[in-house]
Amino acid sequence: MPTRRKFLASSAAGLAALAASPSVKALSLPPLPVASKLLVISTWDTGLSANLGAWKVLSQGGRALDAVEAGVMVTEASQNCCVGLGGNPDREGIVTLDACIMDEQFNCGSVAALERIKHPISVARRVMERTPHVMLVGEGAQQFAVAQGFPLEPQKLSPDAEKAYREWLKTSQYKPVVNIENSGNRKTGPVGGANNHDTIAMLAQDAQGRLSGSCTTSGMGFKMRGRLGDSPLIGSGLFVDNAVGAAAATGQGEDVIRIAGAHTVVELMRQGMSPKVACKAAVERIAKIKGDKARDIQVCFIAVNAQGQHGAFALQKGFTYAVCDASNQQQLIQADYLLK
Ligand code: SD4
């Protein structure tokens, strides 16, 4: 039997190889004592390492809620990606973070425009569990986080974000760039190499069939100060109804909000659509609203139904999502898309 250390090491090597390729690939993981329903899916290539964090919880009989928190914390803590404090700042040069979490009983919590806190997803969970509210924003969210014992991190941009911000200041143009997070590397992006979308959304089902979801982001780089996207909004960036399924979004938040995206996907599954077809129908709704401007944006949905089937759909080419399921496969899947 492989030791856990070896398992993690071999997984990390495999993940690096997987992340290098954009096509559908599978990586065999060592067998784990799993029940048939276990599943975790998450957005973009960074979902691969995040899924391992969630899988560790699920495979030990843990709760989906704990899994989706632990999973995206991996990404929030990563230096190699723009989710969390390493993300691009707003146009004033300040990183502001949004996150939300939802469990199988409609319990939910959210924080928005939170500054200097490393794990906004955990603060969102505390809002859910320790306050009578669903959402805290800005200064109040930070005050709550500190009162809950979360350390206040220095107000400092990462070297990559600093560079990208300085470059952006030369023109101060705000133009979302389709799929730029997919490069996984700020250096290959536009405006001096800035990633412009910086989100991970994750959905999981545990051995007892409980569904939960999480979403965390630094939001659109160089956004207006005070701007919120879909990611902290229950019903837009994330929605879970355990009897039906769960869905989450990434991409241009303003357009996901317009159709209450994640809730729409869940309602379409309630009407009998498969996860992929429901995601597609939501994307089509946005494309219809946007008309000629649809090509300027990217929106993507992932979904899981109560039976443990999963699917995704994007407006444009280039959206990947990572899946880890009870067959012990870790996969990176290129999602189907509308604008061909
Ligand atoms: C937002 N939906 O703030 C987020 C951005 C995103 O990958 O998903 N980036 O609008």
Residues having CB within 6 Å of any atom of ligand 1: 181, 197-199, 217, 219-220, 229-231, 250-251, 253
Single-letter residue type at 129: E
Q: Does some domain include residue 18?
A: no
> CB within 8 A of 212, min separation 6: which ones?
63, 64, 65, 67, 68, 101, 102, 103, 104, 203, 204, 206, 240, 246
251 labelled binding-site residue = yes
Ligand 1 closest atom vs CA 256 = 2
Give the CA angle between residues 255, 256, 258 to the nearest 5°.
65
Minimum-distance ligand 1 atom for the alpha carbon of 253: 10
DSSP category for residue 152: P
Is 90 marked as binding a ligand? no
340 CA → ligand 1 middle, Å? 22
pLDDT at 175 over 80: no
The number of beta carbons lying within 10 Å of the beta carbon of residue 274 is: 17
pLDDT at 30 over 90: no
User: Separation of 252 CA from ligand 1 center, angstroms?
Assistant: 6
Q: Looking up tokens 């995601």, which residue turns up?
A: 279
Instruction: Indicate whether 28 pLDDT > 90.
Output: no
Per the structure, the count of domains in the chain is 1
Question: Which residue would you say has higher pLDDT here, 172 or 309?
Answer: 309
pLDDT at 37: 80
Query: Which distant-in-sequence residues (6+ apart) come within 8 Å of 113 by Cβ?
Result: 96, 97, 98, 137, 138, 141, 226, 228
The domain spanning residue 177 has which CATH number?
3.60.20.30
For ligand 1, atom 10, which residue shows the shortest CA distance? 253
pLDDT one-digit tens code per residue, 281-308: 999 999 999 999 999 999 999 999 999 9
Calpha distance 141→117 (Å, rounded): 10
Q: Is 160 annotated as a binding residue?
A: no
The protein residue whose alpha carbon is closest to atom 9 in ligand 1 is 197
Tokens of 102: 């939802």
Q: Is residue 243 domain-resident?
A: yes
- Cβ contacts of 149 within 8 Å, gap of 6 or more: none
> Which tokens in the block code for residue 320?
């990947």
Rounded distance from Cα 195 to ligand 1 centre (Å):
11
Q: Which one has a higher pLDDT value, 138 or 6?
A: 138
Give pLDDT, residue 197.
Answer: 52
pTM confidence score: 0.88
3 state SS of 282: helix
User: Which residue reads 């691009």 in tokens?
Assistant: 88
Task: Identify the pLDDT of residue 11.
Answer: 45
The total of other beta-carbon atoms located within 10 Å of residue 108's CB is 22
Tell me which residue range forms the domain holding 302. 27-334
Concerning whether 131 is annotated as a catalytic residue, the answer is no
Q: Once rounded to an integer, what is the mean pLDDT over residues 45-58?
A: 95
pLDDT > 70: percent of the chain: 82
Helix-helix angle 47-59:4-20, to 10 degrees: 150
Q: How far is the CA of 206 from the centre of ligand 1 (A)?
A: 26
Please tell me which residue, 15 or 259, carries the higher pLDDT value. Answer: 259
Three-state SS for 108?
Answer: strand
Q: Which of 43, 46, 75, 199 is catalytic?
A: 199
The DSSP secondary structure of 174-216, one letter per residue, reads: ----TTGGGGS-GGGSSTTT-----EEEEEEE-TT--EEEEEE
